[in-house]
């Protein structure tokens, strides 16, 4: 009997009911440390709470931000550490006509992903003529009505002006929060005469 009862009150309970009311002597081991699962639970909770609040206040999951840091294609691209090298023919596939492919444009050899602005670079976009090609020359001259301006051929242009314009446009696409650099495009050697001189309106913004 002593084995079950630690004091007289427990002994009375035991004798009346026949049930052992002994307080368990082996106590649960107290948890003092967070484990990985706890951390994951807290993080998951915070992500859910953040998404809920963002949806509530902005009707988007990212507080209205839709730049490249929430673009799965950009995240995949930077995680792959890859830089692509296209031929002009390959680049032409990325002109926005195939909705399953991204939209690319090139400026003097550098290729950028501009899929984030289909209203500008998509088939009906205001600047769709730049998509799927390296139209460095048109970026300098601003002549958008002449088919042969959409080329990487910069011959006969003022080289200082061309270099400055091209650098400035490449910087625009590089530093944009929506577009990103994907690689380079090959320039076959230029043959024949350069396009006739044309000067359109300069970029006003
Ligand atoms: C060398 C001349 C020019 C070049 C290379 C050029 C190029 C561009 C490009 C690449 C964009 C798209 C920017 C983006 O992705 O956000 C753009 C937008 C725009 N450009 Fe030009 N541009 C030129 C001249 C002009 C001129 C002369 C005007 C007007 C008089 C103009 C009006 C606009 C407007 C209104 C937009 C916004 C388009 C939209 O959101 O759909 N541009 N330009």
The 10s digit of each residue's pLDDT in 167-190 is 999 999 999 999 999 999 999 999
Tell me, yes or no, whether 119 and 54 share the same domain: no
Distance of CA 48 to CAs 13, 24, 44, 72, 111, Å?
A: 50, 40, 6, 19, 37
Asked, for residue 199, whether it belongs to a domain, the answer is: no
Rounded CA-CA distance 203/200 in Å is 9
To test ligand 1's pocket by mutation, which of 96, 126, 180 has the most ligand atoms within 8 angstroms of CB? 126
pLDDT-derived band at 66 (thresholds 50, 70, 90) equals confident
Rounded CA-CA distance 138/109 in Å is 14
Please say if the pLDDT value at position 193 is more than 90. Answer: yes
pLDDT-derived band at 160 (thresholds 50, 70, 90) equals very high
Tell me, yes or no, whether 21 and 78 share the same domain: no
The 10s digit of each residue's pLDDT in 94-105 is 999 999 999 999
Please say if the pLDDT value at position 61 is more than 70. Answer: yes
Tell me, yes or no, whether 169 and 92 share the same domain: yes
pLDDT-derived band at 19 (thresholds 50, 70, 90) equals low
Contact 157, 141 (CB under 8 A): yes
Tell me, yes or no, whether 75 and 61 share the same domain: no
CATH for 88: 3.10.120.10
Q: Which of 39, 107, 111 is nearest to 82 (CA)?
A: 111
- Does residue 201 have its Cβ closer than 6 Å to ligand 1? yes
User: Quick one: average pLDDT of 192-204?
Assistant: 84
- Residue whose Cα lies nearest atom 39 of ligand 1: it is 120
Helix (H) or strand (E) holding 43: helix 36-58
Give residue 203 CA to ligand 1 midpoint distance, Å: 7
Average model confidence (pLDDT) for the chain? 87
Tell me, yes or no, whether 89 and 156 share the same domain: yes
Contact 107, 139 (CB under 8 A): yes
Instruction: Count Cβ atoms within 10 A of the Cβ of residue 188 and give its class: 0-12 exposed, 13-18 middle, 19 or more buried.
Output: exposed
Rounded CA-CA distance 87/184 in Å is 9
Q: Which atom of ligand 1 is nearest to the CA of 179?
A: 15
Give residue 52 CA to ligand 1 midpoint distance, Å: 37
Tell me, yes or no, whether 82 and 141 share the same domain: yes
Please say if the pLDDT value at position 21 is more than 60. Answer: no
Structure tokens at 90: 């390959």
Higher per-residue pLDDT: 25 or 100: 100
Tell me, yes or no, whether 181 and 83 share the same domain: yes
Give me the pLDDT at residue 202, please. Answer: 76
Residue 41 domain boundaries:
31-65
Tell me, yes or no, whether 44 and 145 share the same domain: no
Rounded CA-CA distance 103/73 in Å is 12
Q: Which of 32, 157, 169, 63 is nearest to 110 (CA)?
A: 169
Total domains in the chain come to 3
Rounded CA-CA distance 90/165 in Å is 26
Tell me, yes or no, whether 92 and 130 share the same domain: yes
pLDDT-derived band at 31 (thresholds 50, 70, 90) equals low
Structure tokens at 94: 């990325």
- Residue 102, number of CB atoms within 10 A of its CB: 14
Tell me, yes or no, whether 36 and 24 share the same domain: no
Give residue 126 CA to ligand 1 midpoint distance, Å: 8
Tell me, yes or no, whether 135 and 39 share the same domain: no
Tell me, yes or no, whether 51 and 77 share the same domain: no
Give residue 172 CA to ligand 1 midpoint distance, Å: 12
- Does residue 202 have its Cβ closer than 6 Å to ligand 1? yes
């Amino acid at each position: 009997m002593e084995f079950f009862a630690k004091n007289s009150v427990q002994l009375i309970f035991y004798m009346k009911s026949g049930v052992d009311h002994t307080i368990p002597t082996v106590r649960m081991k107290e948890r003092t440390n967070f484990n990985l699962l706890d951390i994951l639970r807290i993080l998951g909770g915070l992500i859910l709470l953040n998404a809920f609040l963002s949806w509530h206040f902005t009707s988007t999951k990212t507080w209205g931000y839709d730049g490249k840091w929430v673009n799965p294609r950009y995240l995949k691209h930077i995680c792959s550490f890859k830089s692509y090298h296209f031929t002009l023919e390959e680049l032409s596939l990325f002109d926005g006509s195939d909705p399953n492919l991204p939209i690319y444009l090139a400026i003097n050899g550098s290729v950028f992903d501009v899929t984030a602005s289909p209203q500008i670079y998509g088939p009906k976009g205001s600047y769709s003529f730049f998509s799927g090609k390296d139209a460095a020359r048109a970026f300098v001259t601003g002549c958008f009505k002449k088919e042969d301006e959409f080329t990487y051929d910069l011959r006969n242009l003022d080289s200082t002006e061309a270099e400055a314009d091209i650098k400035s446009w490449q910087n625009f696409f590089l530093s944009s929060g929506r577009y990103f650099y994907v690689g380079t495009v090959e320039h076959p050697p230029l043959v024949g005469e350069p396009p006739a001189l044309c000067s359109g309106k300069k970029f006003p913004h």
